[in-house]
Amino acid sequence: MHLLNVKFVTVILLLILLGVLYSYIFRAYRIVVSFEQKDKIPVDRAHDSSLVVPDQPAPHADFRAHDSSLVVPDHLQYEQPSIVKGNDVVTVTPWLAPVVWEGTFNPVLLDSIYRPKNITIAATVFAVGKYIMFLRNFLETAEQHFFVGFRVHVYVFTDQPKEVPMVKMAAGRQLMVRSVPSSKRWQEISARRMEMIQTLIEEKLFKSTDYIFCLDVDSKFHGRWGTESLGRLVAVVHPGYYRDKRSRFPYERRPASRAYIAPEEGDFYYCGGAFGGLLQEVHLLTKTCRANFEADAQEDIEAAWQEESHLNRYMWTNKPSKVLSPEYLWQDFKAKNPEIQIIRFSGVVKNYAEIRPNV
Ligand code: 5GW
Ligand code: MN
């Protein structure tokens, strides 16, 4: 009985040993197989070998496209540029971007260049709370002046979708409404625009849209805004500061903020109420401004003019490829300066006490 037990245990142990030996050999064999399989994958088709997402997908990766961005090293010092010289207009920046003024372009020529490209232009506009009252005028005048004859998709972000006026749109033009939550703090409405534009681009526009412009709703069109404004990255010079020294621009001046610009830095003061460009460029801009805004907020700091400050900081490092003159965002309360031949788009006079939730 005792001897039998010993034999039985020996057999069991032997079996276990065999099992271990077998699985060891088998595993080794499997490892060899997997190496072989890996070696068989042609190097150029190994798409999973890294998952790096390019910030700006290069359409022609084979060519060296150095014009695809104009990034300037931080804190480079140089003389302040200007878009006017006495009563004359200046039509090019020091980094050789055109400054668009009436008389610098031929609209018929430009339209005929862009028409065969069959492009789609998106415009975003926010109408939250009382600002819904500006929407009809904005939309109706856009129909008369904004990329007339081109495919335009206007995206209205509002907390009152039912109040959006059903303005008649020309063939090929569409009005799209997106719901956003109401907000008590006005700074939040302003701040979250970047985030919502970023999300719109990611969720809806990447496949269908070529260019995008982000515009203030408290404004209306008076003259042509068309193909002359198209470019990779486009900013509008603010009508209020273009004759001032840059140390007087209302940039964010506290170094603690990610929107900080020193007194001897900066090119122009750009409008937060109108900017645009190629979809991928505006995507990167909104993503960056939003991230900087949120990182600031984490440290309890809010830039002087919220997203406008962050936009100006972005454009200081990432030079716009086209600069639109203040014809592209004037202010109705301002008298027309002599160099302004035409006002194309302008902010309407608003009664702040009436429209703002809490001032
Ligand atoms: C409300 C109070 C203070 C600041 C902004 C708002 C506000 C802005 C609002 O209640 N609802 C709203 O939709 N907005 C959107 O943000 C509008 O599209 C508006 O054009 C844009 C920027 O705000 P503005 O136009 O008051 O800023 P400024 O610098 O043109 O006066
Ligand atoms: Mn405005």
Taking only the tens place, the pLDDT of each residue in 137-172 is 999 999 999 999 999 999 999 999 999 999 999 999
pLDDT of residue 61: 56
Task: Output the six-digit token pair for 110.
Answer: 């430009």
Distance 91 CA to ligand 2 centre (A): 26
- Report the DSSP beta bridge partners of residue 152: 121
Indicate which ligand has the atom closest to the C-alpha of 192.
1
**Closest C-alpha to ligand 1, atom 4:** 186
* Residue among 124, 128, 275 to mutate when testing ligand 1 (max atoms within 8 A of CB): 128
Q: What is the 158 CA–ligand 1 centroid distance (Å)? A: 12
Task: Judge if the beta carbon of residue 347 lies within 6 A of ligand 1.
Answer: yes
308 catalytic? Reply is yes
**pLDDT tier at 99, thresholds 50, 70, 90:** very high
Q: Quick check: CB of 138 below 6 Å from ligand 1?
A: no
Contact 323, 197 (CB under 8 A): no
Instruction: Please tell me the distance from the alpha carbon of residue 99 to that of residue 46, in angstroms, as a whole number.
Output: 45
Task: Measure 3 CA to ligand 2 centroid, in angstroms.
Answer: 98
pLDDT band per the 50, 70, 90 thresholds, residue 246: very high
Give the residue-averaged pLDDT of 325-335: 97
pLDDT higher at 46 or 95:
95
Q: Give the three-state DSSP class for 4.
A: helix
Reading across the β-sheet that carries 151-158, which strands appear in turn? 99-100, 322-324, 233-237, 270-278, 211-215, 120-127, 151-158, 174-179
Q: Quick one: pLDDT at residue 24?
A: 52
Region 264-274: mean pLDDT is 98
Say which residue, 313 or 38, is predicted with more confidence. Answer: 313
Q: Please report where in the chains the tokens 């949120």 appear, as a residue.
A: 294
Strand order across the beta sheet in which 345-347 lies: 219-221, 345-347, 330-331
Atom of ligand 1 nearest to the CA of 193: 16
Least confident of 53-57, 113-117, 254-258, 309-313: 53-57
The whole-number average pLDDT for the span 64-77 is 87
Average pLDDT rounded to a whole number, residues 221-243:
98
Mean pLDDT of 269-282: 98
Among the residue ranges 17-31, 91-105, 209-223, the one predicted with the least confidence is: 17-31
Q: Which of 216, 220, 359 to mutate to test the pocket of ligand 1 (most atoms within 8 A of CB)?
A: 216
Chain position carrying tokens 């799209």: 176
Query: Left, alpha or beta for 15 (phi > 0: left; psi -120 to 50: alpha)?
Result: alpha
Atom of ligand 1 nearest to the CA of 187: 4
pLDDT class for 29, splitting at 50, 70, 90? Answer: very low
Q: Hey, where are the domains in the chain?
A: 1-39, 70-355
Q: What pLDDT shows up at residue 208?
A: 93
Q: Mean pLDDT across the stretch 291-309? A: 96
Range 247-276 average pLDDT = 98
Structure tokens at 70: 């104009």
- Selecting among 143, 308, 327, 339, the annotated active-site residue is 308
* Centroid of chain to Cα 277: 8
Q: For strand 84-85 and strand 233-237, is the pairing parallel, antiparallel, or unpaired? A: unpaired
Give the mean pLDDT of the chain: 88
Percentage of the chain exceeding pLDDT 90: 74
Task: Tell me what percent of the residues of the chain surpass a pLDDT of 70.
Answer: 85
Q: Write down the pLDDT at residue 49.
A: 41
Instruction: Give, in words, the CATH class of 70-355.
Output: alpha beta
CB of 307 shorter than 6 A to ligand 1: no
The answer, yes or no, to whether residue 1 has pLDDT greater than 60, is: no
Indicate whether residue 239 lines ligand 1 (CB < 6 A): no
Residue 55: per-residue pLDDT: 52
**Which tokens is 18 given?**
């065999």
Q: Are 273 and 215 in contact (CB under 8 A)?
A: yes
* CA 271 to each of CA 292, 346, 353: distance values in angstroms, whole numbers, following the listed order: 18, 11, 22
Atom of ligand 1 nearest to the CA of 183: 10
Parallel, antiparallel, or unpaired: how do β-strands 270-278 and 233-237 relate?
A: antiparallel
